[in-house]
Structure 1
Amino acid sequence: MYIMKRKYKVSVIVEHDKEGYFAFSPELQGCYTQGDTYEEVMANIKDAIKLHLEERLERGEVIPEIDLVSLTSLEVEV
């Protein structure tokens, strides 16, 4: 039996500070990870998202889908 796989597009936010990298997906509550390098955190979040989606699909839950995410930074003087 052939099971057709589906691709999902999810947003990922990556933050960097002196302790390393932190990544999370805003629309997948509780889906986050960390890593020492950007490459490591991206591989980790991809694995975390895949596991998160697999679990939700097994439970018959709806997977939120996004079309566009825009993130920017803003400088504010106070």
Structure 2
Amino acid sequence: MKIRYSIIIQWSEQDKCYVVSFPEWGDGCHTHGDTYEEALKNAQEVLELLTESAKENGEKLPEPKTFGSSIQVA
């Protein structure tokens, strides 16, 4: 079973780059990229490192946040 975590990619006018946050991993966990694609690639790498590190250290992984089946699109 593949674990899926949330990523939020937002443009930062102050930093002039895309900033990525990981809600399940806490406020201090971020990465970035000059393009959206680079930010996404960096996010995937960070998630791999976070999950591998937690598993190697015997730490419990955070529970992934998921959307329920009741979401309706208008």
Tell me the TM-score normalized by structure 1: 0.72
Q: Distance in 2 between matches of 1:67 and 1:52?
A: 16
Q: Distance in 2 between matches of 1:42 and 1:60?
A: 27
1:14 correspondence with 2:5: no
What displacement does 1:67 show?
4.6
The answer for unaligned runs of 5 or more in structure 1 is 1-5, 70-78
Percent sequence identity over aligned pairs:
36
CA RMSD of aligned residues (A): 1.9
Q: 1:20 to 1:67 in 2, by over 3 A?
A: closer
If asked which structure has higher relative contact order (CA below 8 Å, sep 6+), I would say 2
Runs of 4 or more above 6 Å deviation? none
Tell me the TM-score normalized by structure 2: 0.75
Give the number of the structure whose alpha-carbon radius of gyration is greater: 1
What displacement does 1:32 show?
1.4
The answer for unaligned runs of 5 or more in structure 2 is 68-74
Number of paired residues?
A: 65
